[in-house]
Structure 1
Amino acid sequence: MVEGGDRRAGSGTDTRERELPEHVTTPLLTLITTRSMDEDYAHVARKRAAAGEAPAVRTRPHWASLVAVVVLGVMAAVVAAQTDREAEVNELSRAALVERIEVQSDRLGDLQRTVAELTSANQDVASNSTTVQGQLDGIAARVDRAELNTGFAAVRGPGVRITVSNRENTDVDNEIRDEDLATLVDGLWAAGAEAVAINDQRINALGGIRNTGRAVHVNGRPVLAPYVVQAIGDTRSLQARLLQTSQGRTWFLLVDGLDLLYSAENVENMRLPAAPGPSLRDVIELNADPEGVPEGEGSAP
């Protein structure tokens, strides 16, 4: 019964919903619009009936509608014309933008090529710099060796220190002279000495030992007794080999004959200064003219 009662209740509800009037089920906005137009038409019809006029039959659009249509057409035409103009402007803008992009792309390509060229040039310069630096290092090493060999660089190493002097009240004729010291130095060179100095004056090809009166000059500078002769070389054989040279034997004969004070000792580490560099007066470059001016300087092209 309960179920039957529910069905009857449901049927009653469906019946009531089907019996609702139209103004209840019609949407509000549609209802308002429809009723307003119907009431307007009814009002106009009542007025015409009261006046004894026949109902109006609309045979052509109202002038307001025509105006509205014309206005809408004009607006559509304006919008279309404006759209066409904007389309042309947009097309021109697009073309200009594309042209700018192409120009900038070309410029970017040029810059990239320039960067590549500069990078390659920089690498070439770096490679050349490395090569030149290697050459400079080789030249510097050669200069160092040349300075060592010619005496224009200070040196250090083991060697022999010889001290020689006159005895007191020695006759002038028996004093040590420049040729005596030169004999000792020549003997040391022959025995294998690599560098020689007298009283801290380095001996080399441009220097010399000279007598001026009774004074001995080395490299043009006076030196006084006792004369300290230092020679860098092999301490195990330098003194023995000095006795084997003809200059060495002559030197020791002078020591005995002049009764000189003589002593020699091996030194594990001694330092010899560089020889002074005198100015060259008669030597010119191979690529210079006889006037001493290098080729390409001070001459007309």
Structure 2
Amino acid sequence: MPDTRHARAGTRTDLPDHVTTPLLSLITARSMDEDYAHVARQRAAAGVVRESPGRGRPHWASLVAIGVLGVMAAIVAAQTDREAEVNELSRAALVEQIDTRRDEVRDLQHDVGELTRSNAQAASNITTVQGQLDDIDSRVRRAELNTGFSVVHGPGVRITVDNRPGVDVNSEIRDEDLAILVDGLFEAGAEAIAINDQRINALGGIRNTNRAIHVNGRPVNAPYVVAAIGDPKTLQARLLESSEGQEWFALVNGLDFLYTPQNVDDIRLPAAPERPLRDVIEENADPDGTPGGGGNAP
């Protein structure tokens, strides 16, 4: 069988280039060649002669552009150096300011800590003082209640006492009768008492002037309204059990007084009138007030 490989190879070498060249390369080459040929024909028709690369002269615009670029590069370099120095100085100044501000913040934090501790101590002192003031205020209120120099209100008993119509003078209610009733109410647990809105206290008193009764030096007329603040559930019962209460009810029954008790949810009693302090002499002082004498207070 004859060898056909060489014959086929020889035949392929005899084919033209446009047959053996790959299709993509052929299309690209022919397209570029046709473009070059078209441009060449246009230049020839216009009478433009293409200069050879070796014979061209540089354009002045290019030289000027190169010079300008060089000058600009130098300016930029110089400006960069100056900005670098300025930036370095600015950085140093900023670092110094940061250190200064850090020290100031540290001092302020120390001051804040001291003020916080001072405020805590002051708050503790205020709490202590406020507690003392509350205790003193409570003691003052109790003292005012006991002495009668403050307005008070609360539940209690209101007792109305009067004479029978047509009773003779010897059977009328007298100061000592009302005093027995007041003592019995205090013994029964009354906290504050007033007769016809005249508060009873240690400095006041119930006195008879002829037929008129005076409380705290002021006249009061029948009917006598005795208002006592206390527990209304037990006050009347305990009054009956007390010795003064039994004496009072004996007077009521014996002299035929009109007696009307009434429990009240809220009774308001005025404060007792204040009395000016009278002149006093120190104990063991002379009558003229000189200490060391043998005189006594009147």
TM range (shorter): 0.5 to 0.7
Query: Which residue in 1 is equivalent to 2:240?
Result: 240
Question: In the superposition, relative to structure 1, how do residues 10 and 109 fare at CA in structure 2: closer, same or farther (>3 Å)?
Answer: farther
Matched letter for residue 205 of structure 1: A
SS at match of 1:176: coil
Percent identity of equivalent pairs: 49
Query: Which residue in 1 is equivalent to 2:179?
Result: 182
* Counterparts of 1:162 and 1:72, CA distance in 2: 122
Matched letter for residue 257 of structure 2: L
SS at match of 1:237: helix
Question: In the superposition, relative to structure 1, how do residues 282 and 36 fare at CA in structure 2: closer, same or farther (>3 Å)?
Answer: farther
Matched letter for residue 165 of structure 1: N
1:38 to 24, 48, 54: 54
SS at match of 1:281: coil
The reply on whether 1:113 has 2:110 as its aligned counterpart is yes
Query: Which residue in 1 is equivalent to 2:47?
Result: none
2:225 to 228, 232, 248: 228
* Counterparts of 1:275 and 1:186, CA distance in 2: 19
* Counterparts of 2:68 and 2:22, CA distance in 1: 56
Paired residues in the alignment total 240
* Counterparts of 1:76 and 1:224, CA distance in 2: 121
Structure 1 residue runs without a partner (length 5+): 25-33, 42-64, 285-301
Query: Which residue in 2 is equivalent to 1:263?
Result: 259
Query: Which residue in 2 is equivalent to 1:28?
Result: none
Question: In the superposition, relative to structure 1, how do residues 77 and 230 fare at CA in structure 2: closer, same or farther (>3 Å)?
Answer: closer
Matched letter for residue 274 of structure 2: P
The reply on whether 1:122 has 2:138 as its aligned counterpart is no
Query: Which residue in 2 is equivalent to 1:90?
Result: 87
* Counterparts of 2:262 and 2:124, CA distance in 1: 50
* Counterparts of 1:38 and 1:107, CA distance in 2: 75
Deviation at 1:104, TM superposition (A): 2.0
Contact preservation (8 Å) 2:163, 2:223: yes
* Counterparts of 2:95 and 2:86, CA distance in 1: 14
1:11 to 7, 21, 27: 21
1:90-110 deviation line (CA, Å, top 9, x unaligned)? 221111111112222222233
Matched letter for residue 97 of structure 2: R
SS at match of 2:203: coil
Query: Aligned-pair RMSD on alpha carbons?
Result: 4.5
SS at match of 1:145: helix
Question: In the superposition, relative to structure 1, how do residues 121 and 279 fare at CA in structure 2: closer, same or farther (>3 Å)?
Answer: farther
Question: In the superposition, relative to structure 1, how do residues 200 and 73 fare at CA in structure 2: closer, same or farther (>3 Å)?
Answer: closer
TM-score, length-normalised on structure 2?
0.60
* Counterparts of 1:12 and 1:204, CA distance in 2: 136
Contact preservation (8 Å) 2:156, 2:227: no
Question: In the superposition, relative to structure 1, how do residues 87 and 241 fare at CA in structure 2: closer, same or farther (>3 Å)?
Answer: same
Deviation at 1:254, TM superposition (A): 5.0
SS at match of 2:21: helix
1:228-258 deviation line (CA, Å, top 9, x unaligned)? 223345246223224x34x852x4565566x
* Counterparts of 2:112 and 2:158, CA distance in 1: 64
* Counterparts of 1:141 and 1:6, CA distance in 2: 130
1:196 to 193, 196, 199: 193
Contact preservation (8 Å) 1:196, 1:202: yes
Query: Which residue in 2 is equivalent to 1:47?
Result: none
TM-score, length-normalised on structure 1?
0.60
* Counterparts of 1:125 and 1:163, CA distance in 2: 58
